[in-house]
Structure formats: structure tokens, C-alpha cells
């Protein structure tokens, strides 16, 4: 439940990035900066992580920052749905590494649910392409989809490190050190790309505040809690609630409509998630 709720909350992230007055990398920077003070206070009150654990969390944060930087750039080249879908194509890699690193064997029902959800992801993406929606030309759309797909590798690495630490590190420590490393990455990238660092209006600040508190603190916090307590493949399949939430919101706000095939894909994602959850029960 924590992973699915977190995935639904971070489904707001691409919408907020689109509304931000800043570039995608600078928006990511403020996403981390607004969350860090609260995370720091809570991490200081929790059991302290060791130096080795902090090092691993720093690496996880860099991978997460890498994933977000490519995903945020993809948002302006392809549709919100496609960018979010591609960045969540992590269960295949997660299944392989989960088996190699953690010896996690999957029940047949879990595999079935994952395949159903994967078919839904593909159908949703194809349905969006048929509708011809989004801010991009066809060539930019392919580039955006490619960036989103590459970003999935960074997200898989981030989740695998969080999973490997399990319950040995508090969620607050995980979030603080990973967010700090990701903020440093986002700052360096923003400066290198010459993006403005300060919004011009109160509405612009409000968007960034929502990114920090709702998506980073709330969404990623719930995900970090759940991933540390689930097999990695189960967690990543449940994260497919994120592109579904993004698809619905982008339809409402940007007119990126869902046709029959896309709606069928959305139904398959929900069905696959249900089968996976039933297998866990």
C-alpha cells in the first residue's frame, strides 16, 4: 500500500514540472532542497547510519538524480505519459538483479501479474502514440522516449540499493542522504546548463514547494519505506501506478486524451497490480 500510494503521489511530479517557471533540472533541485530540512530533522532523531551505509545512500542519490534529470528532459520532448512510462520500465532489470543479488524467487502469480501489467504499459504507450498528443515532433518524441528508457536504469539502481539496505537503515536516513546527493547533482547540472535558479512569481514558488513536499517527501518517502520491505520486482511492478496517475492528470490538464487502446492498457495495469498484490497476500 505504501508503494502504490507513493507512486500515485509522484504521478503529480511530471505535471508540476510542466507548470514550473524554471528549467527541468533547476526544478528538480528545488524538489530536493524543500524536502531536505524536514528530512534532516527526522534523520537526526532516527538511528544513525554507518559511514558505509551513507556512502551507498550517496550513490543511490546520484543514480536517482541521474534518473530524474533524463526523465525531466524527456517531459519536454514526448508526452507526460510516455516519459513516465519509459522511466518506469525497471521491473525487467530488477527481476534479474533481484534474483542474482538477493536470490528472490517469484511466485507464478507474481510473474503473471507482471506480464499483464507490462502488456498494459505497452498498450497505454501505443494508444498515446496513436492519439498524436504531446508537445513534440515525431523525431523529438523518439528522443524523449529514449531518454526516459535510459533513466529507468538509474531508477533501478536507486531502488536496488534501497532494497539491499532493507530495514537496517531508517527511512529518514535513506531519504536524507539520497536527497542530499541528488540535490548536489541537480545543482551542478543546472549550473552547467545555464538554467535560472529562482522563479519569478509566488505561483512558481508554490509549484516547487509542492514538488518538494508532496512528491519527494511524501511520494518517495512512502516508496522508500515499502521498497525496503518487499521483493524488488513486486515493488517495481506496483510503481506502475505512477504512469497511470500521470496519464489521467495529463488528460485532465493538458488535453493528452486517452483513446480506447490507452484505456485498455490502463485497465491491464490495474489488473496486473491486483494480481501481484493478491499473490503477496
How does pLDDT run across 85-136, given as a tens digit for each residue? 677 676 666 666 666 666 666 677 777 877 887 788 778 767 766 655 555 5
**pLDDT at residue 137 above 60?**
no
Q: Is the pLDDT of residue 11 over 70?
A: yes
Q: Is the pLDDT of residue 220 over 70?
A: yes
pLDDT at 149: 78
pLDDT-based confidence at residue 22 (cuts at 50, 70, 90): very high
Q: Are 249 and 11 in contact (CB under 8 A)?
A: yes
Contact 69, 186 (CB under 8 A): yes
67-86 residue pLDDT tens: 888 887 887 777 766 676 67
- pLDDT category of residue 198 using cuts at 50, 70 and 90: very high
CB burial class (10 A; 0-12, 13-18, 19+) of residue 266?
Answer: buried
Kindly report the backbone phi and psi dihedral angles of residue 31, in degrees, each rounded to the nearest multiple of 5, phi listed first.
-55, -45
The size of the chain, in residues, is 281
Which 8-state DSSP code applies to residue 194? T
Q: Are 81 and 250 in contact (CB under 8 A)?
A: yes
Instruction: Give tens-digit pLDDT for 139-187.
Output: 556 777 788 778 888 888 888 888 788 778 888 998 999 999 999 999 9
Whether 195 shows a pLDDT value over 70: the answer reads: yes
pLDDT tens string 35-65? 999 999 999 988 888 889 999 999 999 998 9
Indicate if the pLDDT at residue 34 is higher than 80: yes
Asked whether residue 196 carries a pLDDT value surpassing 90, the answer given is yes
pTM: 0.75
If one counts the domains in the chain, the total is: 1
**Helix extents (H) in the chain:** 2-10, 13-19, 24-45, 51-74, 80-87, 91-102, 108-131, 138-165, 171-193, 202-210, 221-227, 232-238, 241-254, 260-280
Domain limits for position 29: 2-280
Q: What is the pLDDT of residue 182?
A: 94
Calpha distance 58→176 (Å, rounded)? 10
* pLDDT for res 202: 94
Mean pLDDT of 216-234: 82
pLDDT at 32: 94
Instruction: Identify the H or E element spanning 259.
Output: none
Amino acid at each position: 500500500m505504501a508503494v502504490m500510494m507513493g507512486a500515485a503521489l509522484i504521478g503529480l511530479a511530471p505535471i508540476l514540472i510542466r507548470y514550473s517557471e524554471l528549467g527541468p533540472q533547476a526544478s528538480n533541485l528545488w524538489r530536493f532542497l524543500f524536502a531536505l530540512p524536514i528530512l534532516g530533522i527526522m534523520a537526526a532523531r532516527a538511528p544513525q547510519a554507518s559511514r558505509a551505509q551513507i556512502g551507498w545512500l550517496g550513490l543511490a542519490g546520484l543514480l536517482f538524480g541521474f534518473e530524474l534529470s533524463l526523465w525531466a528532459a524527456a517531459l519536454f520532448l514526448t508526452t507526460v505519459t510516455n516519459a513516465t512510462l519509459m522511466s518506469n520500465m525497471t521491473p525487467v532489470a530488477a527481476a534479474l538483479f533481484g534474483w542474482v543479488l538477493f536470490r528472490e524467487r517469484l511466485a507464478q502469480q507474481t510473474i503473471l501479474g507482471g506480464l499483464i501489467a507490462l502488456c498494459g504499459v505497452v498498450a497505454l504507450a501505443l494508444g498515446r502514440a496513436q492519439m498524436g498528443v504531446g508537445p513534440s515532433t515525431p523525431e523529438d518524441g523518439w528522443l524523449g522516449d529514449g531518454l526516459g528508457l535510459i533513466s529507468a536504469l538509474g531508477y533501478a539502481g536507486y531502488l536496488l540499493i534501497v532494497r539491499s539496505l532493507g530495514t537496517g537503515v531508517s527511512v529518514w536516513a535513506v531519504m536524507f542522504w539520497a536527497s542530499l546527493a541528488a540535490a548536489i547533482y541537480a545543482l551542478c547540472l543546472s549550473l552547467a546548463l545555464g538554467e535560472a535558479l529562482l522563479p519569478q512569481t509566488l505561483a512558481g514558488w508554490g509549484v516547487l514547494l509542492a514538488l518538494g513536499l508532496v512528491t519527494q517527501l511524501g511520494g518517495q518517502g512512502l516508496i522508500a519505506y515499502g521498497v525496503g520491505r518487499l521483493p524488488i520486482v513486486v515493488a517495481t511492478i506496483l510503481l506502475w501506478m505512477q504512469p497511470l496517475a500521470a496519464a489521467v492528470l495529463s488528460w485532465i490538464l493538458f488535453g493528452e486524451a486517452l483513446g480506447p487502446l490507452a484505456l485498455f492498457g490502463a485497465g491491464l495495469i490495474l489488473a496486473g497490480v491486483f494480481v501481484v498484490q493478491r499473490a503477496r497476500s
